[in-house]
Copies of this chain bind each other. A is one copy, B any other.
Amino acid sequence: VTRVTIFGGGRVGSLIARDLSSDDDLEVRVLDRDEAAVRRFRSAGIQAEVADLGSGDDLARACDASDLVVGAVPGFLGRSVLEVAIETGTPVADISFSPDDPLDLGERAREKGVPILVDFGVAPGLSNLLAGRAAAELDPAESIDILVGGLPFRRVWPYEYVSVFSPTDVIEEYTRPSRVRIAGIERVRPALSGVEFVDFPIIGTLEAFETDGLRTLLRTLDVPTLREKTLRYPGHAERMRMLRETGFFSTEAMEIGGVRIRPRDLTERLLFQRWEPAADEEEFTVLRVVADGVRDGRHVRVAWDLFDRTDFGTGTTSMARTTGFPCAIAARMLASRRWTEPGVHPPEVLGRSEEHTRYVLDELARRGVEVSRTEEMLE
């Protein structure tokens, strides 16, 4: 058996744990700092222990006792999980989205002979896999556009949005300038730029705007135009711009009535109350990857579409499913030695291979997450 340790037992980590536990060849254990979470895993028949994932010693001990590690910790802890795993020679499937560029650890991982699969969620994640596939299928690929969003079906004024992520991360998306590549030139633009409306089946019209989500793709893909946009219901971006331009997202402390406060701290607290999903909230995830390019001398457009919604049968949100399943599948690829190449690999590297792409999409479909592919001639 392969001993798998999952770092982090939150929504996504839980889903990964349940997924991997169904495999008799895997011996799954979850580490989390929260005792209540640990008790929940145990009562569900999954090994779990309380651990301080911020401690390098705890991480190293856990890695030493594992054949494979899954990183599902908050972003700020993600980097140290990767570093410790590399030093202890433990393969990792990761979904933590550390703010640093994970590719910087590639050389060290190759030296140590450790295969690391990073950013295996939905976007980054599936979006990268499909972008990598597009770049491999087309010769050349001229542009790749990624659209992604997770939204509630029930639209409550004024934000028409709920978040299972912390508002901190969401507001960060709305403030960090977005890096895109247009016709070969890298551009940095304000977040929430480039608002456009896009129609989707089932849902209707959504609004798409630039956010800084390309991450590794800007380094790994030699495609002249690369863009990522986040999807919300129409009007959301303008409201967020209004709050941002008024100063509510500012992280510079102001003195108000004798005390110092960062406006964003207050704003996060207020928005959190508004963005909290209801217990029975039904939500969906949309991902669309559109690639224009040349195949057999003809201009073509290849598009992949994912639409996933809350599965009340299994009690899983589409957010957890679309984020957690790709990581669980990546973990299985490492456990089964389907992927053995040392180094730090984001999903677009697997996308180069039709076989690997097929495997990931088939495994997703087995779990109820369907990705459709369409192709049209542009001339």
Q: Is the interface of A mostly helix, strand, loop or mixed?
A: helix
Instruction: Tell me, rounded to whole Å, the shortest Cβ–Cβ distance linking A257 to chain B.
Output: 5
Known: A158-B238, A238-B158. A247 touches B261 (CB 8 A): no
Give A219-251 interface residues, CB cut-off 8 Å to B: 238-239, 241-242, 245-248
Contact pick for A269, options B256, B259, B270, CB 8 Å = B256
Q: Is A266 part of the binding interface, using a Cβ–Cβ cutoff of 8 Å?
A: yes
B265 A257 Cβ-Cβ under 8 A: yes
Q: For A271, what are the chain B residues with a Cβ–Cβ distance below 8 Å?
A: 246
Q: Are B269 and A262 in contact (CB under 8 A)?
A: no
Query: Does A273 contact B247, Cβ atoms closer than 8 Å?
Result: yes
Q: Does A170 contact B (CB under 8 A)?
A: no
Q: Is the CB of B242 within 8 A of A269?
A: no
A256 touches B245 (CB 8 A): no
- A164 near B: Cβ within 8 Å? no
- Residues of chain B with a CB closer than 8 A to A238's CB: 158
Cα(A356)–Cα(B76), bound, Å: 73
The answer to whether B256 touches A265 (Cβ under 8 A) is yes
Minimal beta-carbon separation of A274 from chain B (angstroms): 6
Asked if A198 CB lies within 8 Å of chain B CBs, one says no
Is B261 in contact with A256, judged by CB distance below 8 angstroms?
yes
Number of A residues with CB within 8 Å of any CB on chain B: 24
Judged by a CB distance under 8 angstroms, whether A254 is at the interface is: yes
- Residue A113, interface by CB 8 Å: no
Q: What's the Cα separation between A374 and B262 when bound, in Å?
A: 53
**CB-CB < 8 A to A106: which residues of B?**
none
User: Whole-angstrom distance from the CB of A162 to the nearest CB of chain B?
Assistant: 14
The answer to whether B270 touches A247, judged by C-beta atoms less than 8 angstroms apart, is yes
Contact B158–A242 (Cβ < 8 Å): yes
Q: Contact between A246 and B274 (Cβ–Cβ < 8 Å)?
A: yes
The answer to whether A257 touches B262, judged by C-beta atoms less than 8 angstroms apart, is yes
Q: Interface digits, A316-334 against B, CB 8 Å rule (1 contact, 0 not)?
A: 0000000000000000000
Docked complex Cα distance between A242 and B241 (Å) = 13
Chain B residues with Cβ below 8 Å from A245 are: 158
| Chain B contacts for A241, CB-based, 8 A | 158
Q: Is A177 in the interface zone, CB < 8 Å from B?
A: no
Contact of A270 among B262, B263, B274 (CB under 8 A): B263
> Does A260 sit within 8 A of B, measured CB to CB?
yes
Instruction: Write the nearest CB–CB distance from A265 to chain B, whole angstroms.
Output: 5
Residue-wise, chain A 106-150 has the 8 Å CB interface mask toward B (1 for contact) of: 000000000000000000000000000000000000000000000
Contact of A266 among B158, B242, B261, B274 (CB under 8 A): B261
Residue in A241, A270, A273, A274 whose Cβ sees the most chain B Cβ within 10 Å = A270
Q: Which residues of B contact A158 (CB under 8 A)?
A: 238, 241-242, 245-246
Contact (Cβ within 8 A) B259 A246:
no
Interface residues of A in 257-303 (CB under 8 A from B): 257, 259-263, 265-266, 269-271, 273-274
Closest to A258 in B: B259
Minimum CB distance partner of A239 in chain B? B242
**Residues of B with C-beta under 8 A to A270:** 246-248, 263
Contacts of A273 in B (CB 8 A): 247
How distant is A283 from chain B, measured CB to nearest CB, in Å?
21
10 of the cross-chain contacts (CB-CB < 8 Å) are: A158-B245, A246-B271, A248-B248, A257-B265, A259-B260, A259-B261, A261-B261, A261-B266, A263-B266, A263-B270
Further pairs besides A248-B248, A256-B266: 9, Cβ < 8 Å: A158-B238, A158-B241, A158-B245, A239-B242, A246-B274, A256-B269, A257-B262, A257-B265, A259-B261
